Amino acid sequence: MGEKYIMGIGLVLLAFLVLGLIEGTFTGQVVRDREKVAITFPMNGDFPNDVQGFVSFGFSFPNAVFKVDDREADLLIFMTSETIPGLKLGYEVQDKKIFGGLPVMYSDAIDIIDGQPHTLVYTFSKPANKQSIHLDGKLLVESSFSGEKSADPITGMAVFEQWLTIQSNMGMDVKFG
């Protein structure tokens, strides 16, 4: 009888492990198979208004992967604006695309996790009806600027997907204007 009891407990524990219900040992976060992993960075400001402005990020990401437990990050989120609801700026790790703005713009594939110093700049102007993303002084993408949320850029995939968001302690040089 004792063997069946122990075997039953073992099967229950195995089921919990398979379903991802037991916490990871490194972060204490549970990462389930269907969850996407987004890493955010500390913010120390926002746009001064919703008419026109810019944000500049100076960073150097090591030539490695961003991981939570054994899962690679799907997104790096540089900023989420409170001044302009819905405006985010980030990087899709697998596709190597920078995204941001309203409506959301996507760059061509570009590797920024390469150990090199980079400067990422996003600018917008309602009067000029224009927004743009530059990397290291080169224009990556530009389009019209509506300032209104059309879709959630973080879930450019299916609405039912779950996201695990982790705050990074990696610092960046951030300037708003």
Q: What is the pLDDT of residues 4-23, one digit of tens each?
A: 545 455 444 444 434 444 33
Instruction: Give the mean model confidence (pLDDT) for residues 91-110.
Output: 95
Query: d(Cα 35, Cα 147) in Å, to the nearest integer?
Result: 29
- In this predicted structure, the answer to whether residue 56 has a pLDDT above a threshold of 90 is yes
Q: Domain coordinates of the chain in residue numbers?
A: 1-25, 31-176
Percent of the chain at pLDDT exceeding 90:
45
Architecture of the domain whose range is 31-176: Sandwich (2.60)
Beta strands 35-40; 75-80: pairing state: parallel
Instruction: Give the mean model confidence (pLDDT) for residues 84-111.
Output: 95
pLDDT score, position 166: 63
Query: d(Cα 74, Cα 163) in Å, to the nearest integer?
Result: 10
Q: At 62, is the pLDDT very low, low, confident or very high (cuts 50, 70, 90)?
A: confident
Q: Mean pLDDT of all residues in the chain?
A: 78
Beta strands 52-59; 138-143: pairing state: unpaired
pLDDT score, position 18: 40
Instruction: Give the mean model confidence (pLDDT) for residues 115-128.
Output: 96
- In this predicted structure, the answer to whether residue 85 has a pLDDT above a threshold of 80 is yes
Instruction: Name the percent of the chain in helix, strand, coil, to the closest 5.
Output: 10, 35, 50
pLDDT score, position 41: 80
Three-state secondary structure of 33-79: CCEEEEEECCCCCCCCCCCEEEEEEEECCCCCCCEECCEECCEEEEE
